[in-house]
Amino acid sequence: MSITISAEKRVVIGRDNWKTRAEGFVPAVVYGPAMEPKNVSVDRKALVLAFREAGESTLVDLVVNGDQAVKVLIQDLQFDPMSSEIIHADFRAVDLTKEITAKIKLEFIGEAPAVKELGGTLVQALNEIEVRALPQNLVHLIEVDISKLKTFDDTIHISDLTFPTGVAAVDDLGDTVALVTPPRSEEEMAELDKALDIDVNAVEVAKKEKKEGEAEAGADEKKTDDKKKPDDKKKSDKK
Predicted pLDDT at 236: 47
The total number of structural domains in the chain stands at 3
Q: What is the per-residue pLDDT across 26-65, written as a single tens digit (0 to 9) for each?
A: 999 999 987 889 999 999 999 999 999 998 899 999 999 9
Give yes or no: residues 164 and 213 share one domain.
no
Beta bridge partners of 41: 8, 27
Residue 218 scores a pLDDT above 80 = no
Distinct helix (H) and strand (E) counts, the chain: 4, 13
Give yes or no: residues 162 and 189 share one domain.
no
Distance in angstroms (rounded) separating the CA atoms of residues 200 and 162: 47
Confidence of residue 19 (pLDDT cuts 50, 70, 90): confident
Least confident of 76-80, 125-129, 198-202: 198-202
pTM over 0.75: no
Give yes or no: residues 124 and 87 share one domain.
no
Residue at a domain's end among 181, 204, 230: 181
Q: Which helix (H) or strand (E) holds 92?
A: strand 86-93
Distance in angstroms (rounded) separating the CA atoms of residues 124 and 101: 23
- 163 φ/ψ angles, rounded to the nearest 5 degrees: -100, 145
CATH number for position 145: 2.170.120.20
Angle at 76 between CA 145 and CA 46, to 5 degrees: 85
Give yes or no: residues 86 and 8 share one domain.
yes
Give yes or no: residues 60 and 78 share one domain.
yes
Residue 194 scores a pLDDT above 90 = no
Give yes or no: residues 197 and 222 share one domain.
yes
Give yes or no: residues 9 and 89 share one domain.
yes
Domain coverage including residue 89: 4-94
Give yes or no: residues 126 and 197 share one domain.
no
Predicted pLDDT at 17: 85
Give yes or no: residues 143 and 209 share one domain.
no
Maximum CA extent, the chain? 99
Rounded to the nearest integer, the mean pLDDT of the chain is 84
Give yes or no: residues 194 and 177 share one domain.
no
Give yes or no: residues 167 and 188 share one domain.
no
Q: What is the per-residue pLDDT across 83-102, written as a single tens digit (0 to 9) for each?
A: 899 999 999 999 999 999 99
Distance in angstroms (rounded) separating the CA atoms of residues 55 and 50: 8
Give yes or no: residues 27 and 87 share one domain.
yes
Contact 47, 37 (CB under 8 A): no
Distance in angstroms (rounded) separating the CA atoms of residues 133 and 165: 9
Predicted pLDDT at 233: 47
Predicted pLDDT at 239: 46
Residue at a domain's end among 33, 67, 94: 94
| Nearest by Cα to 170 from 137, 132, 134, 143 | 132
CATH number for position 76: 2.40.240.10
Predicted pLDDT at 201: 58
- 118 φ/ψ angles, rounded to the nearest 5 degrees: -110, -5
Contact 96, 71 (CB under 8 A): yes
Residue 82 is classified by DSSP as T
Predicted pLDDT at 35: 86
Q: What is the per-residue pLDDT across 154-185, written as a single tens digit (0 to 9) for each?
A: 999 999 999 999 999 999 999 999 999 998 76
Confidence of residue 77 (pLDDT cuts 50, 70, 90): very high
